[in-house]
Amino acid sequence: MTPGQALLLRIYTDENAMTGDRRFFDVLVERARSMGLAGATVLRGLRGYGASSTLHGGKAFDLAPNLPVVVEIVDIEASLRAFIATLQPEDEIGLVTLEKVEVVRYGGHRHHY
Task: Express each pLDDT in 9-23 by its tens digit.
Answer: 999 999 999 999 999
- On whether the CB atoms of residues 9 and 72 are closer than 8 A, the answer is yes
Supply the pLDDT for residue 60: 61
Task: Express each pLDDT in 28-66 by its tens digit.
Answer: 999 999 999 999 999 998 888 888 887 777 666 666 678
Which of 68, 92, 90 is CA-nearest to residue 14? 68
CA triplet 10, 41, 70: central angle to 5 degrees? 40
Q: What gap in Å lies between CA 112 and CA 78, rounded to an integer?
A: 32
111 pLDDT tier (thresholds 50, 70, 90): low
Record: fold of 4-53+65-103: Alpha-Beta Plaits (3.30.70)
